[in-house]
């Protein structure tokens, strides 16, 4: 509950199972598609598959929504595809996360940024975690920070995205706390959290800065140890046994918003349809349990309010990137 209040207040309306014709307001989806901009197994994939499954099971859409994985640049290929070939497509949703805003802020999506899509809404919030193998020499987060202070280049770290991505930024903040130069980290980029987790379990990397929604299975199976969750306070459910970084004297947080955008010229009728569909999903009594089972926490925001948030956060990350030298002052 405290985590929910720490985010942005919900705008949920009482759930009413309206007929599809009443919901559509002039638009009915035809062969809809959810694009997950990474390989299967990561947070984008979870966002698409969880949401589309629940929309079908709860009878909130008239036809199934298929998921297409489109890896490449942790979102760059997807946004370029949408803008080049599907600018007005009313039947496509693209999964995004806070990392997408970070990449837009750094110009990693080429010439496309926050004003080149239509922001539809969120489906929940995730949080960063710091994971190691169960037999790791790092027992606590302070152990890892101490090793970074001694030689940050001696620790193989890997996750999705390149230098400057949100997963890189999580450990960069730890390195900075240790007094080390984040640019000297031994960081290995992967296409999605699933590939990075496989590398961790295989011993190819020692530290995985991932997301809560990606690691439940491995954590409950005892294959990994979580050194910290990057939240303001302890999270409920299966993560309640994991301390925050702040509890361990390390002031690092990383909340992750997950949701969808549409093409920049998506017709208004289609945009309002998808906004309304997410709003009804938020309000359905079955949604919190399904969302929580994937390690997601409540974050209900859609439409114009959500669009304003997306643009504001991207601008803030652009300023942060300038401060740490990832982009120039002209970007």
Question: In this structure, what CATH number is given to the domain that contains residue 290?
Answer: 3.40.190.150
Q: Residue 97 — left, alpha, or beta (φ > 0 → left; ψ -120 to 50 → alpha)? A: beta
Residues 6+ apart with CB under 8 A from 161: 74, 99, 103, 167, 168, 189
- pLDDT, tens digit, 9 for 90 and up, residues 155-188: 999 998 888 888 998 998 899 899 998 889 999 9
In the chain, which residues have pLDDT < 50? 1-24
Q: Residue 162 is part of a domain; what is its CATH number?
A: 3.40.190.10
pLDDT of residue 36: 97
Judge if 282 and 239 occupy the same domain.
no
Of 191, 220, 248, the residue that ends a domain is 248
Range of the domain at 134: 127-248
Q: What pLDDT was estimated at residue 14?
A: 41
Residue 92 lies in a domain: yes
Q: Say what the pLDDT of residue 331 is.
A: 58
What six digits make up the tokens of 198? Answer: 């496989």
* Each residue's pLDDT tens digit, 246-302: 999 999 988 889 999 999 999 999 999 999 999 999 999 999 999 988 878 888 999
- Helix pair angle (98-105, 166-178), 10° resolution: 80
**CA angle 40-194-260, nearest 5°?**
50
Identify whether 329 is part of a domain.
no
């Amino acid at each position: 509950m405290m985590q929910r209040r720490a985010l942005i207040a919900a705008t949920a309306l009482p759930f009413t199972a309206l007929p599809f014709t009443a919901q559509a307001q002039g638009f009915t989806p035809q062969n809809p598609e959810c694009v997950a901009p990474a390989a299967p197994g990561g947070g984008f994939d979870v966002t698409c598959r969880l949401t589309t499954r629940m929309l079908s099971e709860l009878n909130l859409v008239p036809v199934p929504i298929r998921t297409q994985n489109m890896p490449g640049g942790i979102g760059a290929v997807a946004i370029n595809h949408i803008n080049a070939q599907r600018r007005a497509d009313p039947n496509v949703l693209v999964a995004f996360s806070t990392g997408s805003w970070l990449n837009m802020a750094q110009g990693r999506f080429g010439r496309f940024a926050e004003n080149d899509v239509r922001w539809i809404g969120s489906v929940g919030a995730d949080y960063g975690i710091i994971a190691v193998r169960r037999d790791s020499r790092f027992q606590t987060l302070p152990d890892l920070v101490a090793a970074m202070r001694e030689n940050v280049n001696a620790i193989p770290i890997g996750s999705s995205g390149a230098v400057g991505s949100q997963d890189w930024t999580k450990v960069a903040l730890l390195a900075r706390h240790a007094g080390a130069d984040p640019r000297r980290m031994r960081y290995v980029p992967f296409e999605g959290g699933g590939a990075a987790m496989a590398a961790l379990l295989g011993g190819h990397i020692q530290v995985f800065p991932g997301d809560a929604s990606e690691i439940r299975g491995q954590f409950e199976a005892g294959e990994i140890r979580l050194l910290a969750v990057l939240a303001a306070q302890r999270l409920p459910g299966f993560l309640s046994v994991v301390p925050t970084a702040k509890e361990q004297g390390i002031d690092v947080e990383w909340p992750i918003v997950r949701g969808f955008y549409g093409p920049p010229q998506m017709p208004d009728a289609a945009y309002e349809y998808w906004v309304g569909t997410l709003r009804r999903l938020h309000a359905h009594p079955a949604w919190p349990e399904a969302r929580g089972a994937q390690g997601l926490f409540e974050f209900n925001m859609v439409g114009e309010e959500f669009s304003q948030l997306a643009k504001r956060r991207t601008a803030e990350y652009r300023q942060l990137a300038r401060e740490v030298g990832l982009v120039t002052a002209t970007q």
